[in-house]
Amino acid sequence: MNAVPQERRVVTAIPGPKSQELQARRLDTVAGGVGSTLPVFTKRAGGGIIEDVDGNRLIDFGSGIAVTSVGASAEAVVRRAAAQLQDFTHTCFMVTPYEGYVEVCEALAELTPGDHAKKSALFNSGAEAVENAVKIARSYTKRQAVVVFDHGYHGRTNLTMGMTAKNMPYKQGFGPFAPEVYRVPVAYGYRWPTGAENCGPEAAAQAIDNITKQIGAENVAAIVIEPVLGEGGFIEPAKGFLPAIVKFANDNGIVFVADEIQAGFCRTGQWFACEDEGIVPDLITTAKGIAGGLPLAAVTGRAEIMDSVHGGGLGGTYGGNPVACAGALGAIETMKELDLNGKAKRIEEVMKARLTAMQEKFPAIGDIRGRGAMIAIELVKDPVTKEPYAEAAAALAKYCHNEGVLVLTCGTYGNVLRFLPPLVIGEDLLNEGLDVIEAALAQI
Ligand code: PLZ
């Protein structure tokens, strides 16, 4: 078993010579459109550490974009997936089914909010789950329009690209986009003109007004939102916004879809981020954290909505692959056994306390936000004008990378530094990563 030493170690330049050699080969053969945050090539990873081919050990504040919440080599994930590999790699659930798929759907029914009858369908990627949630909502409502939000992110396929707000790099040159996708305002408290206090109800009223006046509620099949907006900048919709949108959806026969692909599975200190305001979505999309790094995604929801689709209408060759399902069962077992919701809450406590202290020294930190192990700082040139400071986010990330701490940026304005450590990270590593971030802030 791979037991990566849980310590930061920088022994070469970042990236080191072996990574640079691999990067040169990569540039010759991998399409230029596929980027990498940091071209150090991974040798092994686990707990809170990524070890590269040059022997550097980086503190992982990215989790492969919120995927390896249980670590990148969690014992139960590896054990169950390896055992499944020995038995069979694939039959295709649509040809001859297997138990693992059913067990994952049972776990999803148990863990997702609400005590109504639920059913699930499994897929390979987050984007595929979102696409299928829209298919299911359209089939159920016999309507076409899909409502999404400013700063939302839902994927890179044609439909989900159209549902995603940000043009560069996701959409530029890739149109035309699917029709019947409409974008409305979201409750972004930090940047709401009349202040965060008023933001929830005001933004909900604006969104609902746009829907009723510009689309017509009776034409809307689904409202799709991330309960904490991820790629758009870790925006927690201001209090009151989500419940108002859910009520509007319920009152108008619209399917409310929570895209929990990034925020779900213990990441925010709850099984699902929408639980924070007691929201029970009609459909939930999951991926990323669900399977400890193996590709799996799901749509879970009210049985009558899920079952409105004709037999054979949902599927895909690999959807719910048996190895990925085994990995998911291992990841869920780990989340329960190690109380990773509790761990995520503790990570929030440590991070927010340290970041709040840093904000007093460094006015570039305009906002600190997020929940659990989904925490970010928004960087601004001036705390009054709140002018986005993307250069600072890039410079901070570069400093951290050179010092052996892997951090990611995000946000519509590219000015958000986000922290997504594996939930199993040791508190010493967490604090050491924060020390490096503090040193980086002192440099800019
Ligand atoms: N919905 C909320 O966060 C994926 C994308 C990174 P896939 N986010 C990371 C990138 O640059 O491609 C995501 C998400 C939410 C949907 C998706 C899409 O999930 O598994 O990447 O298709």
**13 C-alpha vs ligand 1 centroid, how far in Å?**
30
pLDDT of residue 271: 98
- Residue 11 counted as domain residue: no
Check pLDDT > 60 for residue 1.
no
pLDDT confidence bin for 273, thresholds 50/70/90: very high
Confidence class for position 307, pLDDT limits 50, 70, 90: very high
Q: Which of 307, 337, 367 is the last residue of a domain?
A: 337
| Ligand 1 proximal residues by C-beta, below 6 Å | 65, 125-127, 130, 153-156, 226, 230-231, 259, 261-262, 287
pLDDT tens sequence across 209-239: 999 999 999 999 999 999 999 999 999 999 9
Nearest CA, atom 3, ligand 1:
262
Which residue owns the Cα nearest ligand 1 atom 9? 65
pLDDT in tens, 288-305: 999 999 999 999 999 999
Q: Please give the distance of CA 430 from its chain centroid, rounded to a whole number.
A: 20
Tell me if residue 419 falls in helix, strand or coil: strand
Query: What's the chain's average pLDDT?
Result: 98
**Residue 12: inside a domain, yes or no?**
no
**Mean per-residue pLDDT for 88-117?**
98
Whole-prediction pTM:
0.98
CATH number at residue 108: 3.40.640.10
Q: In this structure, what DSSP letter does residue 142 have?
A: -
Determine, yes or no, domain membership for 280.
yes
pLDDT at 242 over 80: yes
Q: Are residues 311 and 430 in the same domain?
A: no
Please give the tally of structural domains in the chain: 2
pLDDT band for 148, please (50, 70, 90 cuts): very high
Decide if pLDDT at 82 tops 70. yes
- Amino acid 438 reads E
Instruction: Report the candidate in 333, 297, 438, 422 with the shortest Cα–Cα distance to residue 372.
Output: 422
The residue to mutate among 63, 157, 231, 412, having the most atoms of ligand 1 within 8 angstroms of its beta carbon, is 231
* Residue percentage of the chain with pLDDT more than 90: 99
Q: Which residues contact 390 (CB under 8 A, 6 or more apart)?
A: 379, 413, 414, 415
Domain match, 228 and 301 both: yes
User: Which position has the token pair 């099949």?
Assistant: 221
Task: Count Cβ neighbours within 10 Å for each residue of 164-187 and write b for 16 or more, e otherwise.
Answer: bbbeeebeeeeeeebebbbbbbbb
d(CA 57, CA 70): 18
Q: Say how many Å lie between the CA of residue 123 and the centre of ligand 1.
A: 14
- Residue 97, pLDDT above cutoff 80: yes
pLDDT attached to residue 423: 98
pLDDT confidence of 444, banded at 50, 70, 90? confident
Average pLDDT over residues 195-211: 97
pLDDT digits (tens, 9 = 90+) for 337-396: 999 999 999 999 999 999 999 999 999 999 999 999 999 999 999 999 999 999 999 999
Question: What residue numbers bound the domain in which 288 lies?
Answer: 77-337
Q: In terms of DSSP bridges, do strands 297-302 and 283-286 run parallel, antiparallel, or are they unpaired? A: antiparallel
CB-CB neighbours of 309 under 10 Å: 16
Which of 279, 303, 337 terminates a domain? The answer is 337
